[in-house]
Structure 1
Amino acid sequence: MQQIDLNDSTADRYLLDAPGLTLIAFHSRTCGTCRVAREQLPQMALPVERICWIDAGENGGLVERYEVFHLPALFVARDGAFYGPVNASLSEWDVRQQISLALDSYPAELP
């Protein structure tokens, strides 16, 4: 699984062009739970091609557009379409289930 760091200037173009399923993960260097997420998510057998990491402390534009209110915050995009938040604990089964539920919704444009 690929891991890519995105920022305010690179995220839109990358996410619009990325084929397949992308897990978008907002995090902060000072957040303990975020550090755990950064360690555990790549080790999980998730149905995604990549995880895109966005540092919330350095990318306020994306934080505002995605309406991030807590960290870590996870979202799903597929083939340039936005499927919404993944409200899950950091358990593999829960993340997988919430990704599946998000994909059952109607796609929208990226925020």
Structure 2
Amino acid sequence: MPSLELTDFDADRQLLELSGTSLLIFTSIGCASCRWARRELPGMRLPVDRLCWVDAGNNGGLVERYEVFHLPSLFLVRDGQFFGSLQSALQESGLSAMLQQALARESEELP
């Protein structure tokens, strides 16, 4: 699955311009769960077109705007529309179901 590294400087433009579904994941190098997510999520068969990674330690503007309080934090964006945060265990079946539920919600503008 394709992956992108996003920063405070390019995330808005990228997320607005990308077609399809993007799973936006905030991580940090010092977080064991984040390291696990970076290793395992790319191999999962998730109903998304790409994974978009944000290093929370280096991108405080995005962390503040998305109101990230714990890591890893996951958000869903499709065709420039924001479908909110995802509260799910990082397991393929549960995460896939949560992604489908999120896409059924009313979309919003990106934070």
2:32 maps to what in 1?
A: 32
Unaligned segments of structure 1, at least 5 residues: none
What residue in structure 2 maps to residue 107 of structure 1? 107
The amino acid of 2:96's aligned partner reads R
Distance in 1, Cα, partners of 2:64 & 2:100: 25
- What whole-Å deviation, never above 9, does each CA across 1:25-82 have from its counterpart, x for those lacking one? 0000000000000011100000111000000000000000001000000000000000
Which segments of structure 1 move beyond 3 Å, counting only runs of 4 or more?
A: none
Q: 2:73 corresponds to which residue?
A: 73
Deviation at 1:90, TM superposition (A): 1.0
Identity %: 51
Quote the Cα distance in structure 2 between the aligned partners of 1:22 and 1:96.
13
Structure 2 gaps, min length 5: none
Residue 99 of structure 1 aligns with an amino acid whose one-letter code is L
Q: Distance in 2 between matches of 1:40 and 1:94?
A: 14
CA distance in 2, matches of 1:102, 1:78: 10
Are 1:4 and 2:7 an aligned pair? no
Aligned CA-pair RMSD: 0.5
Length-normalised TM-score, structure 2: 0.98
SS at match of 1:36: helix
Shift of residue 101, structure 1, vs aligned partner: 1.0
Q: Aligned residues, how many?
A: 111
CA distance in 2, matches of 1:16, 1:2: 17
1:84 and 2:84 are equivalent in the alignment = yes
